[in-house]
Amino acid sequence: MKPKQRTALITIASVWLLTATLLMIATNAYAQSSPAAGNIYSQIQLFSEVLQKLKQNYVTDLSDEELIEAAIKGMLNSTDPHTNYFTADQFTEFTTSTRGSFGGLGIQIDKIGEYITVVSPIEGTPAFRMGITAGDKIVKVDGENVVGVTTDESIKKMRGDVGTTVIITIARPGIPDLIDFTIVRENIKINSVPYSFKMDNGAGYIRISQFNENTTSDLRTALGDLETAGITGLIIDLRFNPGGLLDQAVDTVNEFIGYHKLVVETKGRTRQDALYTRYNSKERNYPIIVLVNEASASASEIFAGSLQDWDKGLVVGKNTFGKGSVQQLLPLSNGNGIKITTSYYYIKSGRCIHKMSNDKLLTGKQVTDEDLKKESEDSHNQVYYTSQGREVYGGGGITPDIVIDNDLLTRFGVDLRRKNVFFNYAVDYLVNHDHQISKNPRITAEIMTDFLEYARAQDISYSAADLDSTRAFIESSIKSELVRKVHGDLESYKISISQDNQLQEAISLFDRFRTLEEMFIYAEEYKKER
């Protein structure tokens, strides 16, 4: 027998051995149900037949391992976008983001159809500072096309040594041309509560950027400091919060609703679990507003929806993302693993957080505007009730009590951010002014003229109308960047939010209403008017 023939027979034998093993497993698993056993047996037999004929007749030699892995991935991909196959290295990569630090650009991504899409920029990172935003589609990395490339391969291309540069080319909805961002890689450290401070009107502000292993302790520290300062109310900002650890979401909710209260149930075909708060907490009687948007997902939706359900907070902003499915990681015998969707989240009122159209979009299936409209209407026809009997709407994310629209940045503003003009101008300005700047500098006409000349030198053109519509944003951004370099991120952030329409609208509610009950009454009137 010739070597090639012997190899071919050995390969076919190994395929048949694999098939026999699969058949044995299927037979054992379904022995108690003869109709199911017969069906799974015949389907695996069909798989074996296709595999054998492919190996025997394909024009070139094929790898058994690659074929089987492709079959496994195809099987998992036929379910939902969150059920995946992992190598050992990929699993390590997958779990890194909940530990508090990693290297890269500072974006959380997912594959939507053929495109690697930004789910959320991470606050305080290079990508966030340059204006990359949720929904941006990454089409090139350093000039290399990544459309159709896997998420893992794209991550490898974008990550690199700290201090090195990468060019990300994105397609942004509503903008016809591709946009290049030149970004310097940094060591990304995730601070789950990056900002907390008392505002001028006496209310406190806490920004939660992600639910990682430090969130509960960070939140407790922030609450303690603010309450010592005598706050009269609180805004908890969960916009662009992609979620994170479920136990941290439950424990942070615990801080506001007290001991042994139902936060969330996970319901699936084979298992149901209920998660309750675990400890006594301080009674907080001041009004609380939870600020959310379309990029608030998963654990952040559980937090916002739970405070809404227990009547402990007024939710304002835009409808949340609707990521309410639960995944379990299961090890495989070869050291790899699979992540399987096992259940959905249901918060205390009975609402399911998950938005089914997201699964279709994330797997590249077509979803029409009519489909989305019908889903939204169906959701609002599902009425649930909070602990005090307020009506809330169910299914597909969390619907705010009061809707506040986002700000839309002009193309001129986008260009200024993506080309890092504010950062670079501030560096040059402070060098020429001995790094002297107050915490609240005034942007004079002279500074504005100087900045616009600087922008034109970076090949950024604009019209009088562009300048008129963007002037307030430019002045705030110059001031914020100057202050950042002398007085730090917190003082800079306080300036930048002066142009944040959603936040300013939320702040104004404290000026109009003294109690949460008054806010609830206003929210009911608001719903009737809409």
Per residue in 115-174, pLDDT tens?
Answer: 888 866 777 788 888 888 777 889 999 999 999 888 778 888 898 888 889 999 999 877
In angstroms, rounded to a whole number, what is the distance separating the alpha carbons of residues 231 and 112? Answer: 42
In angstroms, rounded to a whole number, what is the distance separating the alpha carbons of residues 162 and 175? Answer: 31
Tokens of 158: 């974008």
Amino acid identity for residue 370 in this structure = E
Would you say residue 416 has pLDDT above 80? yes
What is the helix (H) or strand (E) element at residue 155, kind and residue range?
helix 151-158
Over residues 491-508, the pLDDT tens digits come to: 999 999 988 999 999 999
Over residues 335-358, the pLDDT tens digits come to: 888 889 999 999 999 999 998 887
The confidence score (pLDDT) of residue 170 equals 93
Would you say residue 35 has pLDDT above 70? no
Q: Identify which of 29-43, 350-364, 472-486 has the greatest average pLDDT.
A: 472-486
Over residues 380-391, the pLDDT tens digits come to: 778 999 999 999
| Residue 95: strand pairing partners | none
SS3 503: helix
**Cβ contact 275:261 at 8 Å:** no
**What pairing do the DSSP bridges indicate for beta strands 204-207 and 234-237?**
parallel
User: Of 316, 320, 315, nearest to 294 (Cα)?
Assistant: 320
**What pairing do the DSSP bridges indicate for beta strands 234-237 and 262-267?**
unpaired
In angstroms, rounded to a whole number, what is the distance separating the alpha carbons of residues 378 and 177? Answer: 36
HEC string for 431-454: HHCCCCCCCCCCCCHHHHHHHHHH
Rounded to an integer, the average pLDDT of 161-189 is 88
Would you say residue 9 has pLDDT above 60? no
In angstroms, rounded to a whole number, what is the distance separating the alpha carbons of residues 234 and 289? Answer: 6
Tokens of 226: 């603010």
The DSSP letter of residue 352 is B
Amino acid identity for residue 299 in this structure = A
The set of residues, in sequence order, having a beta carbon less than 8 Å from that of 48 and lying 6+ positions away, is 15, 16, 19, 22, 23
Would you say residue 29 has pLDDT above 50? no
Would you say residue 3 has pLDDT above 70? no
What is the signed CA dihedral for 250, 252, 253, 259, rounded to 10 degrees? 80
Over residues 38-74, the pLDDT tens digits come to: 688 888 889 889 999 999 999 999 998 889 888 998 8
Q: Which residue has the tokens 């302790």?
A: 217
Residue 515: pLDDT band with limits 50, 70, 90: very high
**Cβ contact 212:241 at 8 Å:** no
| Residue 204: strand pairing partners | 198, 234
Residue 255: pLDDT band with limits 50, 70, 90: very high
**Cβ contact 174:135 at 8 Å:** no
Rounded to an integer, the average pLDDT of 8-21 is 44
Alpha helices in 204-343 (DSSP H): 215-228, 246-257, 299-309
> Of residues 95 and 192, which shows the higher confidence score?
192
**Cβ contact 201:510 at 8 Å:** yes
Over residues 295-333, the pLDDT tens digits come to: 899 999 999 999 999 999 999 999 999 998 888 888 888
Compute the C-alpha angle 323/352/302, nearest 5°: 60
Q: Identify which of 26-35, 122-131, 282-291, 388-397 has the greatest average pLDDT.
A: 282-291
> Of residues 394 and 103, which shows the higher confidence score?
394
**N-terminal to C-terminal alpha carbon distance within the chain:** 82
Rounded to an integer, the average pLDDT of 503-516 is 96
The confidence score (pLDDT) of residue 417 equals 86
The DSSP letter of residue 206 is E
The CA-based diameter of the chain, rounded to the nearest angstrom, is 91
* Averaged confidence pLDDT in the chain: 86
The confidence score (pLDDT) of residue 20 equals 45
pTM over 0.85: no
Would you say residue 1 has pLDDT above 70? no
The residues that are catalytic are 298, 309, 323
Neighbouring CB atoms inside 10 A of 514's CB total 13
In angstroms, rounded to a whole number, what is the distance separating the alpha carbons of residues 463 and 471? Answer: 12
Sign, Cα dihedral of 208, 211, 212, 214? positive
In angstroms, rounded to a whole number, what is the distance separating the alpha carbons of residues 374 and 367? Answer: 11
The confidence score (pLDDT) of residue 108 equals 77
Residue 26: pLDDT band with limits 50, 70, 90: very low
What is the helix (H) or strand (E) element at residue 84, kind and residue range?
strand 84-86
The confidence score (pLDDT) of residue 268 equals 92
The confidence score (pLDDT) of residue 6 equals 41
What number of CA atoms fall less than 13 Å from residue 413's CA on the CB side? Answer: 20
Rounded to an integer, the average pLDDT of 20-32 is 47
Would you say residue 424 has pLDDT above 80? yes
Would you say residue 19 has pLDDT above 70? no
Range of lowest pLDDT (195-199, 308-312, 420-424):
420-424
